[in-house]
Amino acid sequence: MSESRLKLDVTRMMADAIGKGYGVSSGEIEQIWPRVMNLLQGLEARRKSGELPFYTLHENEDMVSRIEEYAEKVRGRFKNLVLIGIGGSALGPIALADALLPLNWNHLSDEERKAPRFFVPDNPDPEYLGAVMEVCPPEDTLYNIVTKSGGTAETMAAYLAVMTPLKEALPEEWREHLVFTTDPSKGNLRKIARNEGITAFSIPSGVGGRFSVMTSVGLLPAALLGINIRDLLAGAAEQSEKVFNREFETNPSAAYAALQYLAHTQRGARMHVMMPYANSLYRVADWFRQLWAESLGKRMNLQGEVVNTGPTPIAALGATDQHSQVQLYVEGPHDKTFTFVVPRNFRRKVHCGKHHSDIESVDYLAGLDVGVLLRAEAEATQRALTAAHRPNMTFVLEEIAPDTIGELLYLLEAATLVAGGLYEVNPLDQPGVEAGKVATYALLGRSGYEDHRAEIEKERQRPSKIVQ
């Protein structure tokens, strides 16, 4: 068996390492494992029946070649790619771009980049959207509008906002500056694509927003930005071989889910911090925050009982947050687990110069590659947490590359399905998000939402309690 380029070290989740009563015991794993096996059998059967298409997205050759064809067709034509979407329709593309492009991407010259600059105004904040519009003239810009439902207010508002300058600047060619990613048949965006003849990619039915990073949601912008999407999918394929493995030691996604669940339900660790030690991976933690929160945070369980369950995921960044959060993490309440994500090799080396040989307490850093410092800090934080009896585990990536990122994202998605089974909730719905969407439509006077509007008006009659 070849060495895996992504490994999960769970040593410090265990009672042996962090102390009895704090870590998960081997007995607890043995006890829960038959339940995990049962869940995996069910998931495997649902995958085979085509009910869970996210498991096999990496096999969708049609989707990949269509994306590559389009990316090839528009290569060199646009200076900017503006992706308009929110939640699952934005976080995956952002995570991929941040992880796999240089962090100074938008500041590089066109010659250095050889692909467009990338902007994702994923909030209807006029100062943010307006600022992006200001630096992206429509003539040089491709707009990728991404919405599965085709109706999300934030996305459609930003789409309508960019359409005005786009049509004004390019009354004939504006359609060529748009590419949609949406449901294959339903929703307003699909309707607009049909009516106007705009190129549109599909998000396969049955793949929800937060599981869509390996569909055209993530792959199209990635390909347009020059990321090797085949390597990304190869990483996902690698992990897909493991997700139904029967042993704890050979199934990192199930092991991850089981440990997080046990730490939460048996040790009170209801907050799950993901802390990469690499700036380029911070948005992976942000993507995971949505995946874990929206999938597991539920009012009802599968039996229809009110349970109000779910862990709270938190994104942090090493070493930056060592000087912000780690005091709390080491000495605060025993209510958290920690997932570190650490690359074994960084893609750059930056060395400290030798400038103060007379001051030993500065000079020890001279000649040092700062990546060595960052990795040492990751280990130091792991040790500090371990000494303080805090459960922590580490994803070790051989390097940050399309295959390891594809593998990590797939693993976390698969883990989320297992965790959904353990918490006994449906990890694929998001009734709480839908409720917020409905209230927004009602507030903005969308037709069909009049009853909701009336309820809101009634609510507004109640006196407010203001402090000033």
What CA dihedral angle connects 25, 28, 29 and 35, to 10 degrees? -170
Active site residue 323: yes
Residue 337 interacts with ligand PA5 (CB under 6 A): yes or no: no
Residue 209: CB minimum distance to ligand PA5, A? 2
In the region spanning residues 242 to 301, those forming contacts with ligand PA5, defined by CB under 6 A, are: 294
336 is catalytic: no
State how beta strands 392-399 and 6-9 pair. Answer: antiparallel
Taking residue 12's Cβ as centre, other Cβ atoms within 10 Å add up to: 21
Q: How far is the CB of 298 from ligand PA5 (least distance, A)?
A: 14
CB of 152 to ligand PA5, least distance (A): 3
- Of 191 and 354, which has the nearer Cβ to ligand PA5? 191
From 58, 148, 177, 190, residue interacting with ligand PA5 (rule: CB under 6 A): 148
User: What is d(CA 379, CA 277) in angstroms, rounded to the nearest whole number?
Assistant: 10
Site for ligand PA5 in 89-118 (CB under 6 A): 89
Binder of ligand PA5 out of 6, 47, 67, 88 (CB under 6 A): 88
Q: In degrees rounded to 5, what are phi and psi of residue 161?
A: -65, -40
Which is nearer to ligand PA5, 110 or 434 (by Cβ)? 434
> What's the CA gap between 43 and 41, in Å, rounded?
5
Strand, coil or helix: 81:
strand
One of 20, 323, 355, 458 is an active-site residue; which one? 323
Q: For residues 407-436, which are near ligand PA5 according to CB under 6 A?
A: 430, 433
| Closer residue to ligand PA5, CB minimum distance, 89 or 141 | 89
Q: Is 229 exposed, middle or buried (0-12, 13-18, 19+ CB in 10 A)?
A: buried
Distance separating the N- and C-terminal Cα atoms of the chain? 66
Q: Which is nearer to ligand PA5, 165 or 208 (by Cβ)?
A: 208
| Residue 30 annotated among the catalytic residues of the structure | no
Contact status, residue 410 vs residue 54, Cβ threshold 8 Å:
no
Task: Find, among 331, 330, 336, 332, the residue nearest to 311 by Cα.
Answer: 336
Q: Which of 87, 218, 221, 310 binds ligand PA5 (CB under 6 A)?
A: 87
Residues making contact with ligand PA5 (CB under 6 A)? 86-89, 147-149, 152, 155, 208-210, 294, 430, 433
Catalytic residue numbers, as ranges: 294, 323, 437
